Structure 1
């Protein structure tokens, strides 16, 4: 009987010592990364995708510990395998970093395409950028515009800026400085540097906004 109670007690202690990701994040905010690191690692071992991604970012930025991109890569790969779209997105960005040993344009393209097909909004924007630059795939400006539009409709700020550039430069669409003005202005509400650059480079203040284009209607969910 004593042995039975002993194991019940051990199980209770083990259970009560486990914490949630939110509790670990609270510890980090109060006491710093190092105090929360062990909790994140325990949660990551239990396949908690939030903890896996947070750990990946800690190693990527070297927050209170030595920067370790190898650990970041392993963690993002694990998170992506578990179905975490955000982890998959950042893994794709690692694949696009030419300074890293993981650089692989084809893997990046396939990963962002998979995420786009799963309706992950940031991946729409990244697919557009890949198609404009021809990174790991033939350039296709018209298809890039379609991806930028999907991201823009979902409210992704950088996609507004990319569309402003496409309309101003006439890539994949007929040049329309009024519409470029409209998209750039929308992104400038968030002080996005690309929108500001496009607005200044093409002197879009000279062109009245496209009155036939209703941005609020455009951004309504389909």
Structure 2
């Protein structure tokens, strides 16, 4: 009926997103790309370390700790501003001391900057190390990027099992890119991951509900091709309409083809 065309990564400061082309003949092609965008909309501005929280709970040094957090936030905001304005060398200098103090969001950004190869910072192994620290600290974007590093073998030996682990953790925090990638792996089946179209639909639906246009498109294609059972043009049309409204051009083409079919009928 139609093929699923891969989308580019969402602009959410994440390193990369695995993409899929799914043909009606169930031929899969996995592509892992890279994109680092410049959005500060979802930054964690008030994150503090466990040791600081423990001290606050015990009532020890509350004023001093609060002042430290305020200074961290001010420096972090200045670093993010430099990053957005593409003053990467300055951003690197500002993020580094915060990262050394255990500030997860700064650790994430250092990983991004090393991935970007800013000045002397380009080092996949160092990027991996910062992503890992931030991921352990709970940053879902870092968890996603760490998974990509494991999937691609960048800065660390490739390990799909570990990639799945970190994508799962990131997905459970609502990261749509990670949810999409889990859908990709289950749709293809690779290595120790068995093909499971039901699980692929589950994760694509989560990503689609968050507004992921390609996940919406892929769901439409699954239903149009009958990959999950009987063909369901109503569900296919519903998801393709959402994808088209999200700006995914291939969805318009798919809708045009669908509505010209002799067996098409309006589901409205």
The bucket for the TM-score relative to the shorter chain is: 0.7 to 0.9
Does residue 33 (structure 1) correspond to residue 88 (structure 2)? The answer is: yes
Matched residue, 1:166: 222
Considering Cα pairs closer than 8 Å and 6+ residues apart, tell me whether 1 or 2 has the greater RCO: 2
- What whole-Å deviation, never above 9, does each CA across 1:110-130 have from its counterpart, x for those lacking one? 222333344444333222111
User: In the TM superposition, what are the counterparts of 1:143-222 in structure 2 within 5 Å?
Assistant: 143-192=199-248, 195=251, 199=254, 203-206=257-260, 211=267
1:196: how far off?
A: 5.9
- What whole-Å deviation, never above 9, does each CA across 1:103-156 have from its counterpart, x for those lacking one? 211111222233334444433322211111113311111221122222222323
Superposition CA RMSD, Å = 3.1
Aligned residues of 2:204 and 2:216 also touching (Cα < 8 A): yes
Q: How many residues end up aligned between the 2 structures?
A: 198
The answer for unaligned runs of 5 or more in structure 1 is: 1-10, 213-222
1:210: how far off?
A: 5.8
- What whole-Å deviation, never above 9, does each CA across 1:55-111 have from its counterpart, x for those lacking one? 211111224555321111111111111111111011112222267653211111222
SS of the residue 2:228 aligns to:
coil
Aligned residues of 1:181 and 1:209 also touching (Cα < 8 A): no
Aligned residues of 2:135 and 2:143 also touching (Cα < 8 A): yes
Matched residue, 1:76: 131
TM-score for the superposition, normalised by structure 2: 0.63
C-alpha separation in 1, matches of 2:250 and 2:137: 33
Please identify, of 134-143 and 153-162, the stretch whose mean Cα deviation from structure 2 is larger. 153-162
C-alpha separation in 2, matches of 1:106 and 1:86: 18
